[in-house]
Amino acid sequence: MEAIHLATINQALQDSEIKHFTFANPPEELTLESGEKLGPITLAYETYGELNAQKSNAILVLHALSGDAHAGGADGWWDSLIGPGKGLDTNKYFVICSNVIGGCQGSIGPSSINPKTCKPYGADFPLITVGDMVNAQARLIDHLGIEKLLAVIGGSMGGMQALQWMVSYPERIRSAIPIATTLKHTPQQIAFNEVGRQAIMADPDWKKGHYYGSTVPAKGLAVARMIGHITYMSDASMAEKFGRRLREDKEPFKFGAEFEVEGYLHYRGDNFVKRFDANSYLYITKAIDYFNILNGKNLANIFSGLKAKVLVISFKSDWLYPSYQSQEIVKACKLAGVDTTYCEINSTYGHDAFLLETEQETQLIKHFLNTASNAHNGVKQ
Amino acid sequence: MKQATIKTEHKIILNWINKDASVLDLGCGDGELLALLINEKQAQVQGIELSETAIHRCVAQGLSVFQQDIDTGLSEYADNSFDYVILNQTLQQVKKPDFALKEALRVGKKVIVGFPNFVQASARLQIFFKGKVPVTKALPYEWYDTPNLHFLGIADFKEYCKKRNIQIENSAFIRKNSRVKLFPNLFAEIGLFVCSKQVSYQKKPALQ
């Protein structure tokens, strides 16, 4: 009884409260990759575990398209990976997760107030890139007094940010774990995002992005999310989850959601609208569509000089970010002589696997981080 | 890892490899040999392995390994990028051994090849007297569950090297954990070779 009680208290202590960091106050605004200036910038972030005296045990967790700063603790989107004794062991490591700029969960984004107009930015918010997201994170890391991160880790768009760290701040990371991601968005990936964006912009409530204070473009955003969810699953995982089963509470309408899979997509879409801003969806999908870490450089040079260790993970049934894209990352690392490990996890969950196959990921990540952290402390394997 | 537990074939391979050498192990399995190379030879090692479970075991030992099918080639490595490439108990399991060895010889200055000798005496006896496909210590699989796709003997490999202009620099043969000195093609369970590209001797241009 007592043990359980203590465990609960410990868990509660580990759970982080959301914190905010504001920087780039005018006239020292952050210059975005587009050349536009943005400031002041607020980042929402959470931390788990304790930063050690040498400040050498910090891990930055990078979220995907619809994620937020609440990665660990109850209802955290990567709770199965973050916590005492877990893959990102908060007894050993200081874990940080921040909401990206352009987001809508406490960090600056299109729904934030534009200081110049005292109204929400809406579509006047500047276009942002994955590079901008990472530049903002670097400022947060400065603020926390951390010179070098033990690791940056993330899946999907989080993986793109990890790759961006490898290129933008190679000297500030000791290891990187890009999961289920790509060096650049492909036409297929852009196409799916474009359908989502069109759904939002076709909603009459979108009003060219200036809908704050009135009805939000809920239908459009829900459809965008439904398309997203299809691409996150696999043929096999959908068949297993829904089959051709019919809903018990089907609506008395010819084209109502009859099949369970339809009901699920509706549920997912409607739920998403409650927590996500349609304009953020537009801005963030644009940022990942523009993502191309090569940016004119060739594969062999992109990571040259990188001293960090890299662990690349992909999933067999992920058709949105297929394994060949992770193998391209591995190839670029090998060509640059970067100390790299690659594993393709056998999973039927599709792209969602990076959030679901945490048992397999834990095994790899735990040992990899051990090696990375021992290498720093001079411990011989 | 204690010296006593090191397999004979691993001991021989370790002896062939210089200190601080760079080594690529193709089909590195659980990473047993890679770990030995790091500990005993301070080698710079990389491993390639197809099995996901084996990759997990390698990572658990702190090794850097890639999950990859050797049959797709080693195009991301430049010529002579390793001092040694190891194909130990791998060559007979790949789809295209000719291609795998060619790629290994391209990216490695030297290639160490180890394989089970299919024509070893007990195998010959089983074929002759039982009239069945042999199951031996070095070839412990039944015909229906063997990972081996190609069956070769020591004489076959030597002949192959001659045909392909591959130079055999050194060799060792093992039976019951000890070295075989005589008639290896008949007695050895395992053959180990150090191979390199044949240096083609060009006539020096006559001094003018």
pLDDT of residue A196: 98
pLDDT of residue A376: 72
Average pLDDT over residues A165-177: 98
Co-location of A243 and A137 in the same domain: no
Q: Which domain holds residue A197?
A: 189-289
Average pLDDT over residues A172-177: 98
A1 has pLDDT over 70: no
Residue of A298, A307, A310, A341 best to disrupt the B interface, most CBs of B under 10 A = A341
User: Does B64 contact A341 at a Cβ distance shorter than 8 Å?
Assistant: yes
Shortest Cα–Cα distance, A372 to chain B (Å):
9
User: Does A340 contact B55 at a Cβ distance shorter than 8 Å?
Assistant: no
ipTM, 2 dp: 0.86
- Long-range CB pairs of B93-99, under 8 A, 24+ apart, other chains included: B93/B27, B93/B147, B93/B148, B93/B149, B93/B150, B94/B27, B94/B70, B94/B149, B95/B71, B95/B149, B96/B71, B97/B150, B98/B164, B99/B71, B99/B73
> What is the pLDDT confidence band of residue A109, given thresholds at 50, 70 and 90?
very high
Looking up residue A261, the CATH number of its domain turns out to be 1.10.1740.110
Looking up residue A101, the CATH number of its domain turns out to be 3.40.50.1820
Average pLDDT over residues A265-272: 96
pLDDT of residue A248: 82
Co-location of A176 and A62 in the same domain: yes
Residues paired with B172 in a beta bridge: B192
Co-location of A278 and A297 in the same domain: no
pLDDT tens digit at each of 208 positions of chain B:
444 578 999 999 999 999 999 999 999 999 999 999 999 999 999 999 999 999 999 999 999 999 999 998 898 899 999 999 999 999 999 999 999 999 999 999 999 999 999 999 999 999 999 999 999 888 899 999 999 999 999 999 999 999 999 999 999 999 999 999 999 999 999 999 999 997 655 555 555 4
pLDDT of residue A107: 98
pLDDT of residue A381: 43
Q: Which of A234, A264, A289 is the last residue of a domain?
A: A289
Co-location of A200 and A149 in the same domain: no
The CA distance from B128 to B202, in Å, is: 48
A4 has pLDDT over 50: no
pLDDT of residue B204: 53
Query: A87-96, A255-264, A273-282, B102-111: which range is least confident on average?
Result: A255-264
Comparing CB atoms, the residue among B38, B56, B68 nearest residue A363 is: B56
| Tally: H helices and E strands in chain A | 11, 14
Q: Which of A289, A304, A327 is the last residue of a domain?
A: A289
Co-location of A152 and A74 in the same domain: yes
- Structural domains in chain B, CATH included, are 3-118+148-197 (3.40.50.150)
Q: Is residue A351 flagged as an active site residue?
A: yes
Co-location of A248 and A142 in the same domain: no
As a whole number, the mean pLDDT across chain A is 93
Q: Is residue A66 flagged as an active site residue?
A: no
Count of CB pairs separated by less than 8 Å, A with B: 49
Residue of B53, B74, B76, B107 best to disrupt the A interface, most CBs of A under 10 A = B76
Q: Which of A240, A264, A289 is the last residue of a domain?
A: A289
Three-class SS state of A203: coil
Co-location of A24 and A152 in the same domain: yes
A330 lies within 8 A of chain B by CB: yes
pLDDT of residue B1: 44
Q: What is the pTM of this model?
A: 0.91
How many distinct structural domains can be found in chain A? 2
**A38: which 2 tokens?**
């943005």
Co-location of A282 and A314 in the same domain: no
User: Does A343 contact B67 at a Cβ distance shorter than 8 Å?
Assistant: yes
Co-location of A35 and A138 in the same domain: yes
Average pLDDT over residues A107-115: 97
pLDDT, greater one: A109 or A4? A109
Co-location of A285 and A297 in the same domain: no
The CA distance from B13 to B192, in Å, is: 8
Q: Is residue A270 flagged as an active site residue?
A: no
A363 lies within 8 A of chain B by CB: yes
